[in-house]
Structure 1
């Protein structure tokens, strides 16, 4: 009888572990699909983002840059605040771009660094929500 109980106990543990593993993996798939459903639509993104004017400014080197950005915020209220703070947003863009040299802005790394620095500066300006991302949509250096 003792041997039979051990076999039964081991069988139950194996079945339990297999069931827990299946639940874990199936649960992950369900979470993954729900995350896809939570992604905002193009209309929702447009409602929470602003495009800046095309801005021309001197660089730290004897060159100048022409830039435009798309700023995605986490809510429509944050977007409204960013629109009301347009002068501060423009000033942050100009001071950030002006801190780079032409050589620093060349390539994907330079643009990514510019976007990241600007995101940090805008996060300090926007108080109602948060800045989700900053994208360079126009970029010329001369």
Structure 2
């Protein structure tokens, strides 16, 4: 009789410990993911961004483009590195644009492709982070 009572008590204690552990794991998992998915504030975006002043260059055709960008990085450390790499960034932008025609840049899909291509190409040269967004801040084709 004493053995059964002791066994029952031990089983109840073991179940309580397992239940508390499971609840703790779920709470930690939910808190971790909710903070990771939080979008940065506009102040953080600005602090982690680099302006690329207006660039005028030839397109693949006889046209030329005047365009400027704001590049958003994933950290202030990456922002500082990107600011130092401004000459490499301009080179990448000019190289990308020289392969495009005005038709390639028409509409939102053309601009989206340019932004994605620039984001990927510029992120490849980064050592302390990456570019997470490319914003076109001015754009004229002549």
Q: Normalising by structure 1, what TM-score?
A: 0.74
Structure 2 counterparts to residues 10-89 of structure 1, below 5 A: 34=34, 38-89=38-89
- CA distance change for structure 1 residues 58 and 129 in 2, over 3 Å: closer, same or farther? same
- Which secondary structure state, in structure 2, belongs to the residue aligned with residue 52 of structure 1? strand
Name the count of aligned residue pairs: 114
Deviation, structure 1 residue 37? 7.8
Counterpart position of 2:99: 99
| In structure 1, C-alpha distance between the alignment counterparts of 2:95 and 2:36, rounded to whole Å | 37
Deviation, structure 1 residue 97? 1.2
For structure 1, the residue ranges without an aligned partner over 5 or more in a row are 1-26
For structure 2, the residue ranges without an aligned partner over 5 or more in a row are 1-26
Q: Which of structure 1's runs of 4+ aligned residues deviate more than 2 A?
A: 33-38
For residues 58-86 of structure 1, the C-alpha deviation after alignment (integer angstroms, 9 at most, x for no partner) is 00011001111110100001000001111
Deviation, structure 1 residue 34? 3.4
- Which secondary structure state, in structure 2, belongs to the residue aligned with residue 61 of structure 1? coil
Deviation, structure 1 residue 57? 0.4
Counterpart position of 2:132: 132
Q: Normalising by structure 2, what TM-score?
A: 0.74
Deviation, structure 1 residue 124? 1.2
| In structure 1, C-alpha distance between the alignment counterparts of 2:74 and 2:37, rounded to whole Å | 17
